[in-house]
Amino acid sequence: MNIGVLGTGVVGQTLASALVQRGHEVKLGARSATNEKARDWAAKLGRSASHGTFADAAAFGEMVFNCTSGVSSLEALELAGARNLDGKPLVDVANPLDFSRGMPPTLSVCNTDSLAEQIQTAFPGARVVKTLNTATAQVMVNPGMVSGEHDIFIGGNDPGAKAQVTEILQSFGWRNIIDLGDITSARGMEMILPLWLRLYGTFNSPVLNFHVAR
């Protein structure tokens, strides 16, 4: 599948590389068409990898991943362009973490709303799916790094989009995929971040994940 990945940070590059490795054609999108990180990434990954602007990547993808910083995701998606997102699964893996007031970060939206809901509202033609935001980048694409049984959450209004994203998750090795329902479930997924960050500090490693025992 042709996939656009927006954001050249660790999350974007890790996801983009894993998608290339699973046989997809991937365009990594940045604010600028000459972004060095995106250019270096594409050069390293070979002929299934390319790069361009946010709009280039979104236009290229049959599915688009939002891996931009959560506090600037809406702006990045505006640059990507609503028309380039229309009808496509838009996988939101971002967390609206605001580091501007120091550590620990707070959420720039929570409780009565979520980043994923804001994205769905701003881009009603996109089929927004929230997932993967509760795991660190390496674990997103290699859940086997974490011992034992553990889970990934998924939420969104469009069952077809969730099914397509579920196939991607399975290709990364996810076995326990918990469908929490519509896009409002993103509130819970994003609000777990303060606990996740605290656990990172407690165990001095981001290689951890949640399992829902029953």
DSSP E strands in 31-109: the ranges are 49-53, 63-66, 89-92, 97-98, 106-107
| Amino acid identity, position 58 | A
What 3-state class would DSSP assign to 81?
A: coil
Annotate 74-101 with b (16+ C-beta within 10 A) or e (fewer). bebbebbeeebbeebbbbbbbbbbeeee
Which residues inside 178-207 make contact with its own copies, applying CB under 8 A? 178-181, 185, 187-189, 191-192, 194-199, 201-203, 205, 207
Which residues inside 126-165 make contact with its own copies, applying CB under 8 A? 146-150, 153
**175 belongs to the binding site for its own copies (CB under 8 A):** no
Smallest distance from the beta carbon of 212 to its own copies, in angstroms?
Answer: 6
Smallest distance from the beta carbon of 172 to its own copies, in angstroms?
Answer: 16
What 3-state class would DSSP assign to 63?
A: strand
Smallest distance from the beta carbon of 123 to its own copies, in angstroms?
Answer: 23
Residue 72 CA to residue 189 CA, distance in Å, equals 19
**100 belongs to the binding site for its own copies (CB under 8 A):** no
Which is closer to its own copies, CB of 82 or CB of 192?
A: 192
Contact positions toward its own copies, by CB under 8 A?
Answer: 106-107, 110-112, 146-150, 153, 178-181, 185, 187-189, 191-192, 194-199, 201-203, 205, 207-214
